[in-house]
Structure 1
């Protein structure tokens, strides 16, 4: 693997890590505020790889039909 490919891979991994961290931060802040839902600043395509993990944790992934924006709902888990 050349240096450009390795750097590109590292940047992509870092972006994914930051996205996952942001999702966790949004959920955490909303839980602390007593909310049971949160709208993410991502489209479904951007978080699709995490959808199964979220749903396995009893967090529904709701997708708006027109914009594909995502709302998470963990109210049913409690």
Structure 2
């Protein structure tokens, strides 16, 4: 693998890490505020890889028709 490919893979990995970190921050902040739902700044396509993991943690992934924007709901799952 050449240096460009290595750097590209590293950037992609960091973007995914920061996306997961942002999702965790959104959930954490909303839990602290007493909310049971949070809208993510991502479309379903952007977080599809994590949907099963979220639902396994009793966090429902709701997708808005038309926009495919995602709302997480941890209140309904309980």
Does the TM-score normalized on the shorter chain lie above 0.5? yes
Matched residue count: 78
Instruction: State the 4+ residue runs in structure 1 displaced beyond 6 angstroms.
Output: none
Gapped regions of structure 2 (runs ≥ 5): none
- Distance of 1:61 and 1:76 partners within structure 2: 11
Normalising by structure 1, we get a TM-score of 0.98
Paired residues for 1:1-78 under 5 Å: 1-78=1-78
- Distance of 1:29 and 1:77 partners within structure 2: 19
After TM superposition, give the deviation of residue 5 of structure 1 in Å: 0.2
Gapped regions of structure 1 (runs ≥ 5): none
Normalising by structure 2, we get a TM-score of 0.98
After TM superposition, give the deviation of residue 57 of structure 1 in Å: 0.2
- Distance of 1:20 and 1:26 partners within structure 2: 10
